[in-house]
Structure 1
């Protein structure tokens, strides 16, 4: 493979590679568009065919409910980004908004659209093909590891190819990219989009794809200058219909949000499918299929009453489908509404003349001309893209004589609609989601909003003010850092750099001199909320290479020039996970704050009122030992179909739990902060809180077993122990402590003080089993041991280490040194026990049972997922097999400044 890659690099220059990728994108997008079209038509034919066997009033609603429910379930479960049209999502992604576009989104969008449209929902497949093409192109860019700028070009090309293949209109696809999606358009982007659109259109046509409009070669397409005023009337009515349609579509979204609050997406789309089926069953048989309907409106000989009925029914069914956020677009419905409007004007005037309602004989060329003009007018009014409307309809008809009517209709409609309801429906949809994409200076928006909290490194290596110079030199030798913040009792008092040491006067070169004598005491600092502009100004003005970030008296991070470059590169790339749907950020609905008097913060997520008291008690002892404050979090989980910012929730039980925590904090004399967040995913909420509140330690309960296949410690716990940058302590309560915790919860209802006293009387973790190893987590576990043994009246520790059974002379130095440390600094009786066994978990459980241990403290495994699967997850095995309280500790992840 490497040989082929080298040969390819020699043969293909960048532009040649771009042409090849554009052709590939066009081909794949065309295949996706044609297959989607044929699948929708097959399902539609099957649905209509059933009405010849069973009653339409029964078949159509039932098929709509089932198909809509399946579509909604698929989208909600696997790709929430695939709801709705898809064009706003692509537009946002090209505007540097981190919205997922990948193979997962493309597949789910294809299947969801096929189900929703094929079973009767009145929406279009053109919007979804735009998102499918863009998502496939984005996936190609991920596989080839392209630059962010070139990735954006490929996404634009994929969108153009998707639209071109869907309408058989390559020119319209290119104009769509220029007019709707992009403003800054380099030559390479335009060339790539043109090639992809042409390939997509040609492949679609070659595979038998047909546009929305039937062949007009056998019709006389002519009009006279005298018809221009009437064509302008069609344009004005098209603008009015487009403005009303946009307002009604947004009102439909709000209606579904209010009426189906908290319901799943599957329920919403199923209801839309059922209602659409009922309306469709009332239509004549010839109008129950979307393809026949378009042909009927453009070239059919119909009465004005029929055209009016189609206009009203299609408008209502479009509102019903769109408000449910079913996968489907508005481009095709807007063309159908326009054709019905134009036909209604033409046939209505003809009928008025024949009924002697008009005093003069209007000169009408053909209802087809007015139907096509109406298409262009309503399309322009809804999308506010008049040039694209003209090019699209003209390209699908291939009738040059239609250019002037199309221009009149689309331009007049645009002017009228812009006066009645400014901006396109896609812009309103983005605004509704809180996304505001300004056309000017799109590139500058990549840096807009960056603050110190986004840039800083949170794990900071520091030195003490009383540390001698000799130890500081050793610290510089061990680290790649060129400067260290200096702390005095947890408070930032200075900074020491290599330049400070180099400029040190000879008379101060006493290696025992404390750093407080030589450090830079005037430290330039920033707060987490300071903007990137302020940070750059301070770095340039003071000519420093690093800025400590402080919150109150606490050091919470540090920023270097390298951090700014890294963060900006990530922001340009807009990198997001491609492995699963992206949950929305959580929403803070309740919080309390206590005085920020500690040197750090310990986060305790609370959910179970029966174990909350004891978990808080353990966390409080750790916080007291480290002079930390407690941060208590309750997450209220809602379905992915609901928005955290718009969902009403009942916080009474969570608030009662946090009020108990605050009351206990007063008894323990520890500051307690509380917050309640509405979220889709509790694990992501915990990580958000760690970042926003600058958490120094996470302490959370654990059931001791895995709940998700492929996860070593369960969903929320696994995410925390793998991704949290701060140290993590997991606590699985043993049977003894579970009983104590339940009694505490009952006493809490009577008196918080009695609850605490009951815990102190009944909690008795005397005997501790501590298996040690050479990993980085065990030293941190020993650091927490003094706080944990505060529950013991007569503590006793058993230190053990596992050795290979075939090792006759094991190295016991680590075990002996650790035991001496515990005896000297904790004054606790300590027994060492070397163990010779391959079955680590079973042997540890047997030893805990033999010594009647109350608690086991372990370091979290640092092995990879595959190795853990082969060897077994030791902490989980011990937790499941033992009745003891099991505490698993993971030290902070290493990060470089």
Structure 2
């Protein structure tokens, strides 16, 4: 008698796992988001009703808060920043953490730092909190390897979904930016987790989209040249944002404060800013929503961009636990406002379309900086609550992405990750040496991305020289004939490593 073929329920089990992780992560992130909003509202109230006693109290509490956060960061350095590079490193196998040590410290430090009014986003920390929940679930169940990575990734998707009420964008962000893998098991588990987290978050915050902006008229196709020009502007300013962000640790090093104590600087500098312009405090959610009621004139918008750009650098560059996700979207909205108002003042754009450009620019700026256009398109579609913008969103995101890519810009989170893992990788080399190899036309590496090649275990690609240009490599850097690779390895393995790489860098024999 023929036995019935057993049914493979692996995917079903992972979907259930995703739902459980998503529900738990959704609750953690929703509570995180709620506490930040309450604290930020309280701080804005204090700044709007200042007295000498209140100002002195804010200064004292800010110093205490800064010292407390410094203690948490010193205990667990991987809670600093957004947390997204740390998750990428964990999924790539370069980093690993104690999930509980990350979870509670990131939660507490994030609420205090972001809720104080700094120009930091809650989304990156929410993603790290979600991934910590996923890792905790995996560790409790004794999972390792690929199963553990899938659970961490699904928790990350849940974190972004709960932070923005955007389950599709949360899933796509994990696939496009964090995991770099579109396998069915990964996306199904992540989607289930993101949906569960969104359902939990909706019970806290309701059904209204996070950035509910409404435009009056759809922009006609014959005016899409504005989208191309705006995309170029966003790509150029996105490159500026990335370069400034990556340069900030060197700027802060000039203070001669230890890294954990550098957070005191923005916590004190935000006080006069809060007294002067309390409405600008925070990650920027309220700034974006204010455009729905009134778009300022050109010069106030330009000043708003300068203030938010500079203080975003100061806030994130300090290493405080907080992200750049929402600050990037806010800057994109302001840039869209500046462009739209300028063109309207010049008589080249009907004012009714300014709001359209503000919405589109949020996606374009994130696409240029994060190099994740699909996430950008889905995120703004879900956050604004309209699917009518897909074509202009795609066109603007693609334009900004292309401009940044042509200028050699790296995905911001991948560039930040390389700075985290490089010291560890170099530390594993007992007697580090470096050598250079050119890439010849027709070689295997010609026109290949860095991540397409399995580099030898004992090697590290530290630089790519292209003519007079020197580039820090990242995963999607395309290698070209004529490039010179600068590689570090251990002296004991130099010969073997060189031999492996020479095979794919030299021209094939004819």
TM-score (norm. length: structure 2) = 0.78
Do structure 1's residue 22 and structure 2's residue 18 form an aligned pair? yes
Distance 1:60 1:333 in 2: 24
Match runs of 1:755-770 below 5 Å: none
- The alpha-carbon deviation at position 54 of structure 1 amounts to 2.3
Contact (CA 8 Å) 1:66, 1:270: kept in 2 or not? no
Match of 2:428 in 1: none
Match runs of 1:37-56 below 5 Å: 37-51=33-47, 52-54=49-51
* Aligned mate of 1:226, from 222, 226, 234: 222
- The alpha-carbon deviation at position 287 of structure 1 amounts to 3.3
Match of 2:440 in 1: none
- Deviation track 1:597-636 (CA, whole Å, cap 9, x = no partner) reads xxxxxxxxxxxxxxxxxxxxxxxxxxxxxxxxxxxxxxxx
Cα separation, partners in 2 of 1:395 and 1:53, compared to 1, 3 Å: same
Do structure 1's residue 155 and structure 2's residue 152 form an aligned pair? yes
Match of 1:601 in 2: none
Cα separation, partners in 2 of 1:244 and 1:62, compared to 1, 3 Å: farther
- Deviation track 1:174-202 (CA, whole Å, cap 9, x = no partner) reads 11111111234432112111111111122
* Aligned mate of 1:70, from 68, 71, 90: 68
Secondary structure of the residue aligned to 2:389 is: helix
Distance 1:209 1:252 in 2: 38
Match of 1:282 in 2: 276
- The alpha-carbon deviation at position 57 of structure 1 amounts to 6.3
Cα separation, partners in 2 of 1:375 and 1:63, compared to 1, 3 Å: farther
Contact (CA 8 Å) 2:295, 2:337: kept in 1 or not? no
Do structure 1's residue 248 and structure 2's residue 244 form an aligned pair? yes
Cα separation, partners in 2 of 1:528 and 1:381, compared to 1, 3 Å: closer
Cα separation, partners in 2 of 1:260 and 1:12, compared to 1, 3 Å: farther
Distance 2:164 2:37 in 1: 15
Match of 1:129 in 2: 126
- Deviation track 1:824-875 (CA, whole Å, cap 9, x = no partner) reads xxxxxxxxxxxxxxxxxxxxxxxxxxxxxxxxxxxxxxxxxxxxxxxxxxxx
Secondary structure of the residue aligned to 2:224 is: helix
Match runs of 1:517-532 below 5 Å: none
Distance 2:400 2:94 in 1: 31
* Aligned mate of 1:405, from 392, 395, 401: 392
Match runs of 1:85-484 below 5 Å: 85-208=82-205, 213-216=210-213, 219-261=215-257, 263-265=258-260, 267-283=261-277, 285-288=278-281, 290-350=284-344, 352=345, 358=346, 360=347, 362-435=349-422, 439-440=451-452, 448-449=457-458
- The alpha-carbon deviation at position 47 of structure 1 amounts to 1.2
- The alpha-carbon deviation at position 148 of structure 1 amounts to 0.7
- Deviation track 1:338-380 (CA, whole Å, cap 9, x = no partner) reads 0111111112233x3xxxxx3x453343322111111111111
- Deviation track 1:774-817 (CA, whole Å, cap 9, x = no partner) reads xxxxxxxxxxxxxxxxxxxxxxxxxxxxxxxxxxxxxxxxxxxx
Cα separation, partners in 2 of 1:399 and 1:13, compared to 1, 3 Å: closer
Greater percentage in strand: 1
Secondary structure of the residue aligned to 2:388 is: helix
- The alpha-carbon deviation at position 281 of structure 1 amounts to 2.5
Contact (CA 8 Å) 2:158, 2:197: kept in 1 or not? yes
Contact (CA 8 Å) 2:212, 2:385: kept in 1 or not? no
Greater relative contact order structure (CA < 8 Å, 6+ sep): 2
Contact (CA 8 Å) 1:88, 1:426: kept in 2 or not? yes
Distance 2:107 2:8 in 1: 33
- The alpha-carbon deviation at position 423 of structure 1 amounts to 0.8
Cα separation, partners in 2 of 1:306 and 1:258, compared to 1, 3 Å: same
Cα separation, partners in 2 of 1:214 and 1:181, compared to 1, 3 Å: closer
Distance 1:412 1:12 in 2: 44
Match of 2:444 in 1: none
Contact (CA 8 Å) 1:62, 1:277: kept in 2 or not? no
Secondary structure of the residue aligned to 1:69 is: helix
Contact (CA 8 Å) 1:231, 1:408: kept in 2 or not? yes
Cα separation, partners in 2 of 1:292 and 1:434, compared to 1, 3 Å: closer
Distance 1:58 1:292 in 2: 26
- The alpha-carbon deviation at position 313 of structure 1 amounts to 0.8
Distance 1:117 1:211 in 2: 23
Match of 1:684 in 2: none
Distance 1:409 1:13 in 2: 42
Distance 1:226 1:319 in 2: 37
Number of aligned pairs? 434
Cα separation, partners in 2 of 1:62 and 1:394, compared to 1, 3 Å: farther
Distance 2:411 2:266 in 1: 24
Distance 2:112 2:209 in 1: 20
Cα separation, partners in 2 of 1:159 and 1:183, compared to 1, 3 Å: same
Match of 2:485 in 1: none
- Deviation track 1:295-335 (CA, whole Å, cap 9, x = no partner) reads 11344232122211211111111111111111011110000
Match runs of 1:640-655 below 5 Å: none
Match runs of 1:660-679 below 5 Å: none
Secondary structure of the residue aligned to 1:365 is: helix
Distance 1:386 1:432 in 2: 23
Distance 1:186 1:101 in 2: 27
Secondary structure of the residue aligned to 1:207 is: helix
Distance 2:93 2:167 in 1: 26
Distance 2:213 2:151 in 1: 35
Contact (CA 8 Å) 1:343, 1:370: kept in 2 or not? yes
Contact (CA 8 Å) 2:35, 2:111: kept in 1 or not? yes
Contact (CA 8 Å) 2:132, 2:152: kept in 1 or not? yes
Match of 1:700 in 2: none
Match runs of 1:571-610 below 5 Å: none
Distance 1:417 1:403 in 2: 21
* Aligned mate of 1:31, from 27, 46, 49: 27
- The alpha-carbon deviation at position 212 of structure 1 amounts to 7.1
- The alpha-carbon deviation at position 409 of structure 1 amounts to 1.7
Greater percentage in helix: 2
- Deviation track 1:254-310 (CA, whole Å, cap 9, x = no partner) reads 11123235x250x21111211122233222x44345443221134423212221121
Match runs of 1:641-790 below 5 Å: none
